[in-house]
Structure 1
Amino acid sequence: MTAEVTDPVVRRLIDAINAGDRDAFFAVLTPDATMSDDGRDRDLTEWVDREIFTVNGHMDVESVTDGGRSLIANYRNDTWGAMRTRWQFTVDGERISRFDTGQAG
């Protein structure tokens, strides 16, 4: 069962990931959005194409904290299979300006 994501901006991003909708994903981000994976800043466009949109990425949220802006999720894609991941989102108004992800312990 997927936990309820209470932040509507984060929910829109997750919905875009799970729908494979790259345009909707980028519409939720600020123009200067940044991200990190396992503590290392990455090129956002390159990363999301490689880890989400060209490999059928899908996120099932396991738990939610921090008002819906911190998640533990079972994430899977065609490259890596399934893994337990953590996600932290910085929301700026109606958009996300940064997200940090990586494997969860």
Structure 2
Amino acid sequence: MTTPNPIRRFVEATNAGDSEAFLATFTDDAFLSDWGRDFHGRDGVARWNRSDNIGVQSNLRIVRVAERDGVYHARVAVTGNGFNGEGDMAFTLDGDRIASLVIS
């Protein structure tokens, strides 16, 4: 399956260290959950980005992606100065933006 554009842009912005482009991939009222730590809205996503993503120089690579019931499930390989390894991300999209991201 081809990676949907919002998810592709999410990865590209992270890898480029471009926080502005990263935040632009999310809806204004986005929800992000990282192993039970919940973040709401772009301000919340920005906090997570600083502490767990671009702020720790993460580099992402999509291993595989599949769509089930309107949710895109991506297996992602992560390297950087934070978490290193593979993990699962579930994206719910709203048009060309990410409405929800659940990391587990």
TM range (shorter): 0.7 to 0.9
Please list the CA deviations of residues 29-78 of structure 1 after superposition, one character each: whole Å capped at 9, or x if unmatched: 11111100113423422111111122101111111111782110111221
Percentage identity across aligned positions? 29
Aligned counterparts of 2:57 and 2:14: Cα–Cα separation in 1: 9
Aligned to 2:52: 51
Q: SS state of the match for residue 56, structure 2? A: coil
Deviation for aligned residue 1:5: 4.4
Deviating beyond 4 angstroms after TM superposition, the runs of 4 or more aligned structure 1 residues are none
What TM-score do the two structures reach when normalised by structure 2? 0.82
What is the root-mean-square deviation of aligned Cα atoms in Å? Answer: 1.9
Aligned length: 98
C-alpha contact (below 8 Å) 2:23/2:46 kept by paired residues: no
Question: What 5-or-longer segments of structure 1 have no aligned partner?
Answer: none
Aligned to 1:93: 95
Q: SS state of the match for residue 69, structure 1? A: strand
Q: Name the aligned partner's letter for residue 88 of structure 2.
A: R
Aligned to 1:17: 14
